[in-house]
C-alpha cells in the first residue's frame, strides 16, 4: 500500500434521479488512500451491491425499497488513488426500480448483464422476486410463493435458473429454484429451521452452495438437485458463501460467537469442493461476518460485517493483506469488479464505498510477493512461466520445495514430478521411495 495520503474532499452532487453525497481523495493527508469514492444513493441501509459482468454498472439494493443503477464506466478501469480524474456519479435513466413493499434485501445481474433480479417483501403480493430489463426498465417477471423474506438470490452461469433463498428467524428456511424459461415448476430445496441467508452457484453451474440458519452450509448437485454434502462446524452459523473463480474451493463465514469459539464471531473457512474437506480457517475478529467475496483471479477474499471494516486476506496462505476502514455501520455486501480493479461495499450507514485493489489483483507475477505461499516469487515461480499469476499450490504439489510423500526426494528430483511442477508428488504412496521409479 502506498504511503502517500490524500485530503478528503466532500462534494454534494445533485443528480437528475437522486441525491448523491460524494467523497474522493484529491490531495495529501487522507486516512485511507484505497478509497476512491463514497456515495449515498439510498435513504436506508444498503443491503446488497453488485457489478454488472462488464463492470460498467453498479447496482445497489436497499431497505428504502429501491434498486438503483449507477454508471461507473469512468471509475472501473485503471482509476488509481491520487488520480486527477474526477468520478461524477449518475444513475441510468431506467433507475430506480421500486418494490412498493418493505424493502429489497438481495439482487443479482443476469450473466449477460441485460437483466437484474431483486428480492423483497411486497405488501400486496407477499414475498417476491422482481426481474427487470436494465435498459428499458420493463418488469419482465414477478416470482411469488416464497414464505419468508427473500434474503439471497443467484443466477446460474447459463441464466437458465434462478436460486432464491430466504425465510425468517426461528422458522423453516427455504430455497426455491426458479426455471427462467417457465417450462417447469419451481424446485423447492430443504425445509430446515433458520433462514437461508446466502445462495451461490459454482462457476460452472454444477453446484449450488447455501448458507442456513441452523448452522449448516448445504451443497447441492445442480444437475438433479440432490445433496452433494453438508458442511457444518459446532457453534457456527454461516451467513455468506462464495466459490473461488476456478470452482475448486468454497469459502464460508458468519457467526462463530458460540461457546466453542471463545467469543470470536468472525471465522473465515475454506473448503475443498470435491469432497467438502476443510482446508483452512482464519479468525478475523470478535464480531460476525456478513459478506465475503473472491477476487476474479482467486488470490484474495474480502470479508466484512459487524466490525464496520473490511478485511482482505490472501486466499492461499490466509494472511491479512490490508484492512479497509470508513463505514460507520455493519458491512452487508461486498463484490470485486470483473477486471479486478475495484472492490465495492454497501453498509448500514447508507453508504456505498469504492476501494482500489488493482495493485494486488492481476499483477501477481510482478509484485515481489510470494502470493501463493509456495516459497517462490515472480520469475522464480513456475506458475509464472505460462501466465502472469501465481495460482497457488496443493498439499502434494511439485512446486512447493517440500518432500510431501516422505520418499527423500523433492519437486523436480522426485520421479513423481517428471512431467511437470504441477504433478502430484505422492501419486502412489505405496511405491514411494528413492528407488521406486514410479514416474508419476
pLDDT in tens, the chain (440 residues): 333 232 233 333 333 334 444 444 333 334 467 888 899 999 999 999 999 998 889 999 999 999 999 998 877 555 555 555 567 778 999 999 998 778 999 999 999 999 999 998 776 777 889 999 999 999 999 888 677 789 999 999 998 999 999 887 666 778 889 988 777 788 888 767 778 999 999 999 999 999 998 889 999 999 999 999 999 887 788 999 999 999 999 999 999 876 554 456 789 999 999 999 999 999 898 899 999 999 998 989 999 999 999 999 988 888 898 999 999 999 999 999 887 888 999 999 999 999 988 776 545 666 666 655 566 777 787 767 766 666 554 446 666 667 777 788 877 788 877 755 455 676 554 434 433 333 33
Question: What 3-state class would DSSP assign to 22?
Answer: strand
- Provide the pLDDT for residue 369: 62
Q: What is the number of other CB atoms lying within 10 angstroms of the CB of residue 396?
A: 16
Euclidean distance between CA atoms 111 and 114, whole angstroms: 8
E strands, 156-308, are: 161-166, 174-179, 187-189, 196-201, 207-212, 216-221, 226-232, 237-243, 249-255, 267-272, 278-283, 289-294, 300-305
- What's the confidence (pLDDT) of residue 76? 55
Per the CB < 8 A criterion, the answer to whether 72 and 391 are in contact is no
Question: What pLDDT does 210 receive?
Answer: 95
CA distance 390 to 363: 9
List the one residue out of 296, 366, 364, 374 whose CA is nearest residue 335.
296
199 touches 153 (CB < 8 A)? yes
* Distance from C-alpha of 69 to C-alpha of 326, rounded to nearest angstrom: 22
**CA proximity to 164, closest of 127, 112, 123:** 127
pLDDT computed for residue 230 by the predictor: 94
How high is the pLDDT of residue 325?
A: 94
CA distance 386 to 205: 27
**Which CATH fold would you assign to the domain 46-60+94-325?**
Methylamine Dehydrogenase; Chain H (2.130.10)
pLDDT of residue 396: 61
Domains of the chain, residue spans: 46-60+94-325, 394-440
Q: pTM value?
A: 0.77
Amino acid at each position: 500500500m502506498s504511503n502517500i495520503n490524500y485530503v478528503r474532499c466532500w462534494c454534494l452532487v445533485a443528480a437528475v434521479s437522486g441525491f448523491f453525497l460524494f467523497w474522493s481523495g484529491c490531495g495529501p493527508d487522507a486516512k485511507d488512500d484505497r478509497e476512491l469514492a463514497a456515495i449515498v444513493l439510498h435513504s436506508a441501509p444498503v443491503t446488497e451491491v453488485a457489478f454488472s459482468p462488464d463492470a460498467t454498472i453498479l447496482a445497489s439494493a436497499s431497505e428504502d425499497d429501491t434498486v438503483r443503477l449507477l454508471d461507473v464506466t469512468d471509475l472501473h478501469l485503471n482509476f488509481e488513488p491520487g488520480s486527477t480524474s474526477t468520478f461524477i456519479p449518475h444513475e441510468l435513466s431506467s433507475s430506480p426500480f421500486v418494490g412498493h413493499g418493505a424493502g429489497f434485501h438481495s439482487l443479482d445481474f443476469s450473466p449477460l448483464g441485460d437483466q437484474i433480479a431483486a428480492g423483497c417483501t411486497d405488501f400486496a403480493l407477499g414475498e417476491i422476486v422482481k426481474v427487470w430489463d436494465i435498459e428499458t426498465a420493463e418488469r419482465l417477471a414477478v416470482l411469488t410463493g416464497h414464505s419468508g423474506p427473500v434474503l439471497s438470490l443467484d443466477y446460474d452461469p447459463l441464466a437458465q435458473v434462478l436460486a432464491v433463498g430466504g425465510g425468517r428467524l426461528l422458522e423453516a428456511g427455504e430455497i426455491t429454484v426458479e426455471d427462467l424459461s417457465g417450462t417447469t415448476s419451481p424446485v423447492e430445496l430443504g425445509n430446515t429451521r433458520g433462514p437461508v441467508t446466502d445462495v451461490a452457484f459454482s462457476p460452472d453451474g454444477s453446484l449450488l452452495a447455501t448458507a442456513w440458519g441452523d448452522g449448516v452450509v448445504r451443497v447441492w448437485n445442480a444437475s438433479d438437485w440432490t445433496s452433494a454434502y453438508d458442511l457444518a462446524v459446532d457453534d457456527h452459523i454461516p451467513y455468506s458463501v462464495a466459490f473461488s473463480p476456478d470452482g475448486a474451493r468454497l469459502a464460508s463465514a458468519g457467526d462463530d460467537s458460540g461457546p466453542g469459539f471463545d467469543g470470536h464471531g468472525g471465522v473465515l473457512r475454506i473448503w475443498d469442493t470435491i469432497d467438502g474437506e476443510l482446508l483452512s480457517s482464519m479468525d478475523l475478529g470478535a464480531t460476525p461476518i456478513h459478506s465475503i467475496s473472491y477476487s476474479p483471479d482467486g488470490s484474495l477474499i474480502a470479508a466484512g460485517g459487524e466490525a464496520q471494516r473490511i478485511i482482505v486476506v490472501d486466499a492461499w496462505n490466509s494472511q491479512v493483506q490490508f484492512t479497509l476502514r470508513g463505514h460507520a455501520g455493519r458491512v452487508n455486501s461486498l463484490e470485486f469488479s470483473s477486471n479486478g480493479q475495484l472492490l465495492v461495499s454497501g453498509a448500514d450507514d447508507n453508504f456505498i464505498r469504492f476501494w482500489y485493489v488493482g495493485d494486488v489483483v492481476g499483477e501477481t507475477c510482478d509484485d515481489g510477493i510470494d502470493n501463493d505461499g509456495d516459497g517462490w516469487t515472480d520469475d522464480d515461480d513456475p506458475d509464472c512461466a505460462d501466465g502472469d499469476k501465481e495460482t497457488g499450490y496443493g498439499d502434494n504439489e511439485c512446486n512447493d520445495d517440500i518432500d510431501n510423500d516422505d520418499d527423500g526426494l523433492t519437486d523436480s528430483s522426485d520421479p513423481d514430478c517428471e512431467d511437470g511442477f504441477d504433478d502430484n508428488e505422492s501419486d502412489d504412496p505405496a511405491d514411494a521411495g528413492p528407488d521406486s521409479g514410479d514416474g508419476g
